[in-house]
C-alpha cells in the first residue's frame, strides 16, 4: 500500500475525541478495512486501536509530515462495522469521545491479553439441552401476545409480569426459537449475581450455546468469548451484564433486557455514563432487531413509552404456582419506640412473628439498605461525628475488623474510640447496618443459624454461592442482606421478609425516590410470595403512612404509578423531558464557584436556558474535591441533540479557562 494512504484510528483515549490519523507504510501488506486492529504510537505510548475509516482526508491544519505510520496490524479478526457505528451512537448521545466508549468496551487488560500466547483449550464434554419446560396457560398466552406484536412490526415489547409469574420461561422460549433459526441472542441482566443464578438454568435450556460474560470473569475467559463471537462461526445465547453490549455479535437476532427498571444498568463512572437498557434499544434500532423488556416493576420511562404507543405491552398477572401476593404489614416505629416496645432495631411484633416462623421450621429474610455495623460514630460527650478526612460524609464502622471506612473515596483506618474533637469522650456506634442487624438477631435467636449477604461477605463467587446454597438447602435460618437479596431468588422455604429502617429508601432527595422504593419493596415482596400462599412481608418505618407503603399495602400500585407519571408531567421531569447533570469539581471552593459561574454564562450564551443554579449535593466534598451540580432540562424533540452539542461545547470552553476544574457530563442520570 502507498505511504500516502491515511486512516482514522480509534484509540482508547478522551484526547482529541479518541480519533487520530495515521499513514500506512509500504511494509504493511495486510488488508486494512474499518474494524481492523492496529498498533499505533501516540504521545510516546503504544496503543492497540481500531481503524474507523480508510482513505480519509487529513483534517485542515494537519500536515502529512506530522502523520505517524502505524506500527503493525494486530493479529485479531476485524470488528464488524456495525459495532463501530454503535460506539459512535453511544458517544454522541452520552457526550463523550468514541475513544472512551472503546476503552469501556475493551479495557487495557484485554489489550495485553491479545498480545499474549493463546491458552491451550481443553475440550469440554458437550451439554445436551433438556426438553423445554411446559408453559402454563397464562405464560403461553403472554408468549403468543409478544410474538404477535413482533409480527405486527412493533420492535419493542414490555413484558409486565408480577414476581414469580415465569417471565424467564418466556425469555427461554423466544431465545430457543432464534437459536434454532441460526441467530444469536443477547440476554441482559443488571447484576452479576443474577447472571450466576441464571447460568445453570439457561445451560439446561440451550446447552453449549450459552456464553456468560461479565466484568468479574478473568481476562482470558472474556477474550475467549470475544474470539468465538467475532469469528461469526456459530450462534449463541450470550448472558451478561451491560458490558456484554459491546461484544462483537455479528449475527445478533434478538435482545432480552430482564429487570429493565433496575438502576444497576446505569454506569456512573467512568465515561461513557450509559444506561445498558437504553443502549440495547439504541443497538436494536440500528440493527432493526426486536427487543423484549421485562420487569415486575416497570420503569416510568417504559410505561410512558407504552402510553405513547412506542412500545407494546403484555401483562402476566398470575404467579406460576398460583400463589397470591404476600400480605404486607407496616409497623409504625414511632409508636413502637414511644411505647418502649422494641428490642434494638426490632419491634416486639416483628420479633414474635419471626419466632413463630422459625419454630415452624421456616426461613426468614431481613433487608437493610446499609451494610457495615453502623452508619456513623458520635462522641458521647461533645456530639462530634467522625467524618472522612477527604469527604464531607461520616465514616462507617465495621465491627468485624474494628475499622472505619468511607464508602465514597475508599478511605480506611483502624477505629480509635477516643474523640478527636474533645479528647474526653468516646465514639459510640449510631445507626445500624447489616452487620449490626445480624448481631442483634443472634442475640434474640441464639439457636438460629444466621448469615449476611452483602458486598463484604459475598465479595467472591465462591462466598456468594455458599451463602445462597446454604440458605436454599435450609442450612441457614435467617439471611440478612442489602439490595443484593432482592434480585429474582426463589427460596421454597422462605415465608417471612422483613424490612428494617425503610425510611432510608423512602426519604431520598430524588424525584425518582418513590419509583425506586416501590420497585425495591415489590421485588422483596416477591421473595416472600410462597407457593402455598402463606408468605408475609413486614416493613418497619417511622413514616408508616408514606404513599409508597400505602400503595403496597392496598395493592393499588397501578393507580400510584399513574399518579407518579402525572406529577412528573406537571413538574417537567423525565420521562417528559430529558435531563443532563453537570457535576463541577475543584479542590478549591473559590475556584469551584468561579467555574460554576462560567458554566452558567457559557450555557446562556449557547442558548441553553432551562438549567438550575449550581446546587450542593448531599455529599458536597469527595476525595478532597468540592462538588456542585447543575441540572439541565431538554425537550424530547429533535432540538435536544443540538442543545446537547451546545452543552458539550460550553463545558469545553469552561475547562479551557479553568484547567483545575473537572466537569462530568451525565446524560439521563439516575
Give residue-wise pLDDT tens across range 38-50: 999 998 899 999 9
Q: Cell 407518579 sits at which residue?
A: 564
The answer on pLDDT for 109 being more than 70 is: no
The answer on pLDDT for 140 being more than 60 is: yes
Q: What's the pLDDT score for residue 107? A: 79
Reported as a pLDDT band with limits 50, 70 and 90, residue 484 is: confident
Do both 234 and 343 map to the same domain? no
Q: What's the pLDDT score for residue 120? A: 45
Residue 396 included in any domain: no
The grid coordinates listed for 440 are 442483634
C-alpha to C-alpha distance for 480 and 285, rounded to whole angstroms: 42
Q: Find the helix or strand (DSSP H, E) in which 580 lies.
A: strand 578-586
The answer on pLDDT for 262 being more than 50 is: yes
Per DSSP bridges, beta strands 494-499 and 412-414 are unpaired
Instruction: Give tens-digit pLDDT for 112-124.
Output: 654 444 444 555 5
Residue 144 included in any domain: yes
Is the bond preceding residue 293 a cis peptide, omega within 30 degrees? no
Residue 476 included in any domain: yes
CATH number at 658 reads 3.30.70.360
Do both 174 and 259 map to the same domain? yes
C-alpha to C-alpha distance for 208 and 431, rounded to whole angstroms: 48
Residue 478 included in any domain: yes
Reported as a pLDDT band with limits 50, 70 and 90, residue 192 is: confident
Do both 189 and 256 map to the same domain? yes
Do both 475 and 536 map to the same domain? yes
Q: Find the helix or strand (DSSP H, E) in which 39 lies.
A: strand 37-42
Q: Tell which wins on pLDDT, 221 or 50.
A: 50
Do both 154 and 302 map to the same domain? yes
Q: What's the pLDDT score for residue 359? A: 97
Residue 475 included in any domain: yes
Q: What's the pLDDT score for residue 111? A: 60
Q: What's the pLDDT score for residue 283? A: 97
Q: What's the pLDDT score for residue 116? A: 47
The grid coordinates listed for 376 are 456513623
Instruction: Give tens-digit pLDDT for 353-370.
Output: 999 999 999 999 999 999
Q: Find the helix or strand (DSSP H, E) in which 304 lies.
A: helix 300-307
The grid coordinates listed for 43 are 504521545
C-alpha to C-alpha distance for 662 and 630, rounded to whole angstroms: 13
Contact between residue 651 and residue 665 where contact means Cβ atoms under 8 Å apart = yes
Residue 381 included in any domain: no
Span 306-316, average pLDDT: 96
C-alpha to C-alpha distance for 620 and 626, rounded to whole angstroms: 6
Do both 609 and 534 map to the same domain? no
Q: pTM, whole model, 2 decimals? A: 0.92
Q: Tell which wins on pLDDT, 76 or 340.
A: 340
Q: What's the pLDDT score for residue 114? A: 47
Residue 240 included in any domain: yes
Spatial CA neighbour of 156 closest among 262, 292, 257: 292
499-522: buried (b, 16+ CB within 10 Å) or exposed (e) per residue?
bbbbebbbeeeeebebbbbbbbbb
Span 100-108, average pLDDT: 88
Domain final residue pick, 252, 277, 307? 307
Q: Is the dihedral of CA 108, 112, 114, 119 positive or negative?
A: negative
C-alpha to C-alpha distance for 347 and 340, rounded to whole angstroms: 9
Instruction: Give tens-digit pLDDT for 75-98.
Output: 888 999 999 999 999 999 999 999
Range of the domain at 82: 6-115
Tell me the average pLDDT of the chain.
91
The answer on pLDDT for 8 being more than 50 is: yes
Do both 553 and 619 map to the same domain? no
Q: What's the pLDDT score for residue 648? A: 94
Based on the structure, what is the number of domains in the chain?
Answer: 4
Q: What's the pLDDT score for residue 596? A: 97
Span 524-550, average pLDDT: 87
Instruction: Give tens-digit pLDDT for 498-514.
Output: 999 999 999 888 899 99
| Range in 390-394, 612-616, 640-644 with the lowest mean pLDDT | 640-644
Do both 545 and 583 map to the same domain? no
Do both 648 and 595 map to the same domain? yes
CATH number at 183 reads 3.40.50.300
Q: What's the pLDDT score for residue 320? A: 77
Domain final residue pick, 509, 528, 557? 557
Do both 167 and 294 map to the same domain? yes
C-alpha to C-alpha distance for 229 and 85, rounded to whole angstroms: 18
Report the chain's terminal Cα–Cα distance, integer Å.
Answer: 49
Spatial CA neighbour of 495 closest among 371, 359, 368: 359
Do both 235 and 302 map to the same domain? yes
Q: Is the dihedral of CA 386, 391, 392, 395 positive or negative?
A: negative
Do both 183 and 239 map to the same domain? yes
Residue 296 included in any domain: yes
In the chain, % of residues over pLDDT 90? 74
CB atoms within 10 A of CB 361: 10
C-alpha to C-alpha distance for 476 and 192, rounded to whole angstroms: 23
Instruction: Give tens-digit pLDDT for 267-291.
Output: 998 999 999 999 999 999 999 999 9
Contact between residue 186 and residue 240 where contact means Cβ atoms under 8 Å apart = yes
The answer on pLDDT for 629 being more than 70 is: yes
Q: What's the pLDDT score for residue 112? A: 60
Amino acid at each position: 500500500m502507498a505511504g500516502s494512504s491515511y486512516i482514522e484510528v480509534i484509540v482508547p483515549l478522551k484526547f482529541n475525541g479518541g480519533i487520530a490519523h495515521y499513514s500506512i507504510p509500504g511494509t504493511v501488506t495486510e488488508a486494512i478495512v474499518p474494524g481492523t486492529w492496529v498498533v499505533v504510537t501516540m504521545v510516546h505510548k503504544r496503543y492497540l486501536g481500531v481503524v474507523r475509516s480508510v482513505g480519509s482526508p487529513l483534517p485542515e491544519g494537519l500536515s502529512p509530515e506530522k502523520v505517524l505510520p502505524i506500527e503493525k496490524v494486530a493479529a485479531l479478526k476485524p470488528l464488524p462495522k456495525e459495532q463501530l457505528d454503535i460506539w459512535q451512537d453511544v458517544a454522541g448521545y452520552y457526550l463523550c469521545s468514541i475513544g472512551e466508549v472503546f476503552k469501556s468496551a475493551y479495557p487495557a487488560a484485554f489489550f495485553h491479553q491479545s498480545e499474549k500466547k493463546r491458552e491451550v483449550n481443553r475440550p469440554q464434554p458437550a451439554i445436551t439441552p433438556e426438553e423445554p419446560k411446559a408453559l402454563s396457560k397464562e405464560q403461553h398466552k403472554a408468549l403468543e401476545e409478544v410474538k404477535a406484536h413482533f409480527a405486527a412490526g412493533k420492535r419493542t415489547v414490555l413484558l409486565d409480569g408480577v414476581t414469580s409469574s415465569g417471565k424467564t420461561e418466556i425469555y427461554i422460549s423466544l431465545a430457543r426459537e432464534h437459536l434454532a433459526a441460526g441467530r444469536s441472542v443477547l440476554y441482559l441482566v443488571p447484576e452479576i449475581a443474577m447472571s450466576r443464578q441464571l447460568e445453570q438454568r439457561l445451560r439446561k435450556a440451550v446447552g453449549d450455546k450459552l456464553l456468560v460474560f461479565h466484568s468479574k470473569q478473568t481476562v482470558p475467559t472474556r477474550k475467549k468469548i470475544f474470539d468465538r463471537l467475532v469469528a461469526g462461526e456459530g450462534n449463541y445465547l450470550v448472558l451478561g451484564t451491560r458490558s456484554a453490549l459491546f461484544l462483537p455479535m455479528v449475527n445478533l437476532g434478538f435482545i432480552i433486557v430482564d429487570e429493565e427498571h433496575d438502576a444497576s444498568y446505569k454506569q456512573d463512572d467512568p465515561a461513557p455514563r450509559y444506561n445498558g437498557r437504553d443502549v440495547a434499544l439504541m443497538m436494536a434500532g440500528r440493527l432493526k432487531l426486536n427487543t423484549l423488556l421485562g420487569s415486575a416493576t416497570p420503569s416510568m420511562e417504559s410505561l410512558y413509552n407504552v402510553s405513547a404507543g412506542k412500545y407494546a405491552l403484555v401483562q402476566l398477572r398470575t404467579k406460576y404456582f398460583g400463589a397470591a401476593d404476600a400480605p404486607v404489614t407496616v409497623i409504625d416505629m414511632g409508636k413502637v419506640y414511644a411505647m418502649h416496645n422494641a428490642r434494638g432495631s426490632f419491634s416486639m411484633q416483628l420479633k414474635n412473628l419471626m419466632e413463630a416462623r422459625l419454630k415452624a421450621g421456616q426461613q426468614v429474610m431481613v433487608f437493610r439498605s446499609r451494610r457495615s455495623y453502623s452508619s456513623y460514630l458520635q462522641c458521647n460527650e461533645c456530639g462530634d461525628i467522625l467524618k472522612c478526612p477527604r469527604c464531607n460524609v461520616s465514616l462507617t464502622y465495621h465491627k468485624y475488623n474494628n475499622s472505619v471506612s468511607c464508602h465514597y473515596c475508599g478511605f480506611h483506618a483502624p477505629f480509635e474510640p477516643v474523640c478527636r474533637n474533645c479528647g474526653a469522650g468516646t465514639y459510640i456506634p449510631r445507626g445500624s447496618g447489616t452487620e449490626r442487624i445480624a448481631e442483634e438477631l443472634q442475640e434474640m435467636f441464639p439457636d438460629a443459624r444466621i448469615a449476611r449477604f452483602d458486598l463484604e461477605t459475598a465479595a467472591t463467587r465462591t462466598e456468594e454461592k455458599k451463602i445462597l446454597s446454604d440458605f436454599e438447602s435450609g442450612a441457614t435460618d435467617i439471611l440478612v442482606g442489602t439490595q443484593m437479596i432482592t434480585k429474582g431468588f426463589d427460596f421454597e422455604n422462605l415465608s417471612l421478609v422483613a424490612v428494617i429502617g425503610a425510611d432510608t429508601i423512602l426519604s431520598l432527595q430524588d424525584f425518582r425516590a418513590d419509583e425506586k422504593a416501590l420497585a425495591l419493596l415489590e421485588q422483596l415482596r416477591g421473595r416472600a410470595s410462597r407457593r402455598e400462599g402463606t408468605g408475609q412481608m413486614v416493613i418497619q418505618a417511622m413514616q408508616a403512612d408514606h404513599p409508597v407503603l400505602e400503595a403496597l399495602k392496598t395493592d393499588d400500585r397501578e393507580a400510584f404509578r399513574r399518579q407518579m407519571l402525572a406529577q412528573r408531567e406537571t413538574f417537567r421531569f423525565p420521562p417528559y423531558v430529558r435531563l443532563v447533570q453537570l457535576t463541577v469539581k475543584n479542590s478549591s471552593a473559590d475556584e469551584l464557584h468561579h467555574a460554576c459561574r462560567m458554566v452558567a454564562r457559557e450555557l446562556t450564551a449557547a442558548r441553553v436556558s432551562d438549567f438550575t443554579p449550581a446546587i450542593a449535593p448531599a455529599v458536597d466534598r469527595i476525595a478532597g474535591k468540592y462538588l456542585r451540580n447543575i441540572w439541565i432540562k431538554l425537550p424530547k424533540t429533535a432540538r435536544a441533540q443540538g442543545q446537547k452539542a451546545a452543552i458539550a461545547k460550553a463545558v469545553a470552553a469552561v475547562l479551557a479557562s479553568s484547567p483545575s476544574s473537572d466537569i462530568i457530563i451525565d446524560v439521563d442520570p439516575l
